[in-house]
Structure 1
Amino acid sequence: MSAGSDSLPLTVLLISLGAVLGAWSRYYVTRFCTQRFGLDFPIGTLLVNLSGSLLMGVAAGLFRIRFALPNLDHLFMVGFFGSYTTFSTYALDVHYLFRRRAIAPALCFWLGCPLVGFLCVELGIAIALWLTTGISF
């Protein structure tokens, strides 16, 4: 993307709209998981981080790698996923698990989120490439 190729007001609007939708989505996913599964393990944060990583991989494959679509990049990559994924919440949840001396769940959550999240991003990019080119890995 070259400098000046997009309108700043449109960019701000797209990022803001994506951020609102991402925050609402995060809230309702974590709320549902808390009501359904309780507070013993932060399943809502895990689900948001993993689904966000997978979908961000697909979006990166589509909007950045395959098709250069800066407006959709702003809406989804910066706006939606910037507020939907919850790394800071993840870190706080790890803190609370350790503080409650839930050592095994804390270690699984602390190590599992980044590892499986990375694998989800890779899978998402592969899915996007497969959908758009038929290339498989």
Structure 2
Amino acid sequence: MTVLLVLVGGAIGAPLRYLIDRVVQDRRDSLFPWGTFVVNLIGCLVLGALSGAGSALSSPLFLLLGTGFCGALTTYSTFSYETVRLAERAAYFYAAMNVVVSVSAGLIATVSTYALVHALVG
């Protein structure tokens, strides 16, 4: 049952990741990988909220949404690849900003939604 929940969550998160990435990136005329940034930020917000819910959230639901959905929605490998590609193109400012902004925003999003949901469910 555990594997099935993760599989279903991943089957929803992976195509959604692709679609969000394309919609966002197609609307931006910039070297910065906005699509990947947005999906990773959404994933951090969702996972922070799920974690903040703690024991109020059932384990199967966390497996479905946290492990499956967020795991497939977010992408550390694409973030890393896009950072390397920016550096290869000598877009060092964008490469550095991708790392700094993505990591900072992800941590802020996760911590703030965790704290908010934890305080509400508390």
TM, length-normalised to structure 1: 0.83
Q: Match for 1:21: what amino acid?
A: I
Whether 2:32 is the aligned partner of 1:33: answer no
Match of 1:7? Answer: none
**1:68-122: per-residue Cα shift (whole Å, max 9, x none)?**
5110111011100111111110000100110111111110111221122111110
Structure-2 change in CA distance of 1:35 and 1:68 (3 Å): closer
Q: State how 1:1-137 maps to structure 2 within 5 Å.
A: 10-38=1-29, 40-62=31-53, 65-133=54-122
Equivalent-residue separation in structure 1 for 2:51 and 2:98 (angstroms) = 25
SS at match of 1:37: coil
Structure-2 change in CA distance of 1:12 and 1:93 (3 Å): same
Q: Give the deviation of 1:51 after TM superposition.
A: 1.4
Match of 1:4? Answer: none
Structure 2: segments with no counterpart, 5+ residues: none
Contact 1:66 1:132 in 2 (8 A): no
Q: Match for 1:24: what amino acid?
A: P
Contact 1:33 1:43 in 2 (8 A): yes
Equivalent-residue separation in structure 2 for 1:33 and 1:116 (angstroms) = 17
Equivalent-residue separation in structure 1 for 2:45 and 2:102 (angstroms) = 12
Number of aligned residue pairs: give it: 122
Structure whose alpha-carbon radius of gyration is higher: 1
Matched-pair identity in %:
31
Higher relative CO (CA 8 A, sep ≥ 6), structure 1 or 2?
A: 2
Structure 1: segments with no counterpart, 5+ residues: 1-9
Q: Match for 2:98: what amino acid?
A: F
Equivalent-residue separation in structure 1 for 2:30 and 2:42 (angstroms) = 20
Q: Match for 2:88: what amino acid?
A: R
Q: Which has the higher helix share?
A: 2
